[in-house]
Amino acid sequence: MDGKRILLIVGGGIAAYKSLELIRLLAKEGIATRVILTKSGAEFVTPLSLGSLSGDKVYQELFNLTDESEMGHIELSRSADLVVVAPATADLMAKAANGLANDLASTTLLATDKPVLMAPAMNVRMWEHAATKRNVAQLQADGVHVMTPDTGPMACGEFGPGRLPEPERIAQEIRKLLAPPKGQGPLAGVRAVVTAGPTREPLDPVRFISNHSSGKQGYAIADALARLGADVRLVTGPTQLPIPNTVTGVKVETALEMQDAVKANFPADIFISVAAVADWRPAT
């Protein structure tokens, strides 16, 4: 994805530190990042850290004469292929949902003509509050892509939905939004089948024979083919990975199930087999 750029708005919250990892992950894929750091966000991460990883200027103030002369907030809002808000706090989401524009981040969200992706991060009670639900519904109605937050323990000691999605999941959503529309790209019209992960051969209801495999290589190949325009079927054994939303996933357990799933998805123009198929299975 060389040549693509996102505008990352970093909101205030303990999860702001994960924005650094997100920038690093995107850079590995050739996706450049320009950052807007909110006043609250600066309480958790520094402009120096963000600027060092992004290799670009970090913007913070709406009324900064130097910034306005070099790149006004209108141009800034349209200088990327995608605007990403991570973490998207309840405050930022409320401002965007109601068209408020009293700082650089909210003004940018109102002025941009690019797609917007929000990765929420807030306390579970805030996420489940009726006002937040109304704001999320309004944002989605306005065409904003709002991710579902992760569920788990929070810095405040509570447990539930509201955690910032992990950087890899946010990066995957960014790749999806930056990818050419389905049916476009150098592999448009090409059908591909990819196998990934291990298979499990049951010995009894509790035990099984298997090979070690994370599935990462096969998943990455399938996602890359899809981002080039291919119609991809990913036949996968049991893994801990989410199936990329750019492909059609087929989950299997045993080697015979994988064989049947592959045959069912033939004919194909491309077949890539990187699954760690078990070497043995019980005779009975």
Which residues participate in catalysis according to the annotation? 156
| Contact of 47 with 37, CB cutoff 8 Å | yes
For 78-93, b where at least 16 C-beta lie within 10 A, e where not — what string? eebbbbbbbbbbbbbb
Q: Which residues contact 67 (CB under 8 A, 6 or more apart)?
A: 59, 61, 73
Q: Helix 18-28 crosses helix 47-54 at what angle (to 10 degrees)?
A: 10
Identity of residue 191: R
Closest to 88 in 3D by CA, of 126, 62, 55: 126
Q: How far apart are CA 252 and CA 260, in angstroms?
A: 10
